[in-house]
């Protein structure tokens, strides 16, 4: 079993749709959680950290469930520019493990 597993995708949604990604992790000692965005042939960029109480940044909402060991990312009112691969990242003792990513395509 992989340490970090994400929805296989791809997700193809129309503009304006709401889409949710889930990610599960196996190390219960994990301390920090993040969502990154990666555009084609580019480096990953931090989208948002994920806090225990849940957090929101504009159209993006991240949730953490430590008991069930999963994190989620909700994107509301999808834009064409949201098309990218979204990477779930789990950090334990300074070492980060990346999920394989879920590809989102937002269509007009």
Partner 1 sequence: NAGVTQTPKFRILKIGQSMTLQCTQDMNHNYMYWYRQDPGMGLKLIYYSVGAGITDKGEVPNGYNVSRSTTEDFPLRLELAAPSQTSVYFCASSWGLAGGRYEQYFGPGTRLTVT
Nearer to partner 1, 17 or 49 (CB): 49
Closest C-alpha to 83, from 19, 5, 4? 19
Pick between residue 83 and residue 97 the one whose CB is nearest to partner 1. 97
Q: Which is nearer to partner 1, 1 or 95 (CB)?
A: 95
Q: Which two tokens stand for residue 78?
A: 């999808």
The CA distance from 28 to 67, in Å, is 9
Query: Minimal distance in Å, beta carbon 49 to partner 1?
Result: 6
Please report, as ranges, the residues that interact with partner 1 according to CB under 8 A: 31-32, 34, 41-46, 49, 87, 89, 91, 94-101
Closest distance between partner 1 and the C-beta of residue 106, in Å? Answer: 20
Q: How far is the CB of 64 from partner 1 (least distance, A)?
A: 14
CA dist 7 and 15 (Å) reads: 20
Q: DSSP letter for 68, please.
A: T
Question: Of 17 and 105, which has the nearer Cβ to partner 1?
Answer: 105
Q: Do residues 73 and 35 make contact, with C-beta atoms less than 8 angstroms apart?
A: yes
């Amino acid at each position: 079993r992989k340490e970090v597993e994400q929805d296989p995708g791809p997700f193809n949604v129309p503009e304006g749709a709401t889409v949710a990604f889930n990610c599960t992790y196996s190390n219960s000692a994990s301390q920090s959680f993040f969502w990154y965005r990666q555009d084609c042939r580019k480096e990953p960029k931090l989208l948002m950290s994920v806090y225990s109480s849940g957090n929101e940044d504009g159209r993006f909402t991240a949730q953490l469930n430590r008991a069930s060991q999963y994190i989620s990312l909700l994107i509301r009112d999808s834009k064409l520019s949201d098309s990218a691969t979204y990477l779930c990242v789990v950090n334990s003792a300074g070492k980060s493990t990346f999920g394989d990513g879920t590809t989102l395509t937002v269509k007009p």
